[in-house]
Amino acid sequence: MIDAVIEEQSLLPDAKTLERLAISESGFVFDPVSGHSFTLNETGLEILRTLQKNRHLGALLEQLSVEYDVDRSTLDRDLLEFLGSLRDQLLRP
């Protein structure tokens, strides 16, 4: 399953990083340690907020599959893509 793969690849941002992020209603995200900022759409914002509260992929996938009318493989692919880009944002330069 996707969560096992993702865990293995360490695609999830660590809890400490997630906790410190300043997330605005507008979708603007600021990391006070790195000084980086980036923007998210509504769905991205929801995912990040969910991860901030509970860093558990299984629960996140469950929540998203209930909320969005999309087949599981598409959801897995999109989520993997999003987490990859989130990681890039948080780990850049």
Partner 1 sequence: MNVMASPFNIAVTGMNSRPDNPGPGMAVARCLREARGFDGRIIGLGYEALDPGLHLPRYSDAGYLLPYPSSGDDAFLERVQLIHEREGIDALIPCLDAELPSVTRLADQLDSMGIATFLPSSDQLALRNKDRLEELADHAGIACPETKSVTHEEFFYNSGREGWHYPFVVKGIFYDAEVVKTPEQGAAAFARISAQWGLPVLVQRFLKGEEVNLTAVGDGRGRLLGAVMMRKLALTDKGKAWAGVTITDDTFLAASAALVAATRWKGPLEVEVMREPDGTYQLIEINPRFPAWVYLTVGSGRNLLEVLLKLMSNQEPEDPGPAPAGLIYIRYAEDMVIPLAEYESVVMNGWRLQ
List residues near partner 1 by CB under 8 A. Answer: 22, 30, 32-37, 91-93
We find the least distance from the C-beta atom of residue 30 to partner 1, in angstroms, to be: 6
d(CA 21, CA 13): 11
Phi-psi bin for 10: left (phi > 0), alpha (psi -120 to 50), beta?
left
We find the least distance from the C-beta atom of residue 5 to partner 1, in angstroms, to be: 22
Which tokens belong to 54? 């509970």
With respect to partner 1, which residue has the nearer C-beta, 1 or 91?
A: 91
With respect to partner 1, which residue has the nearer C-beta, 5 or 33?
A: 33
Which tokens belong to 44? 């991205």
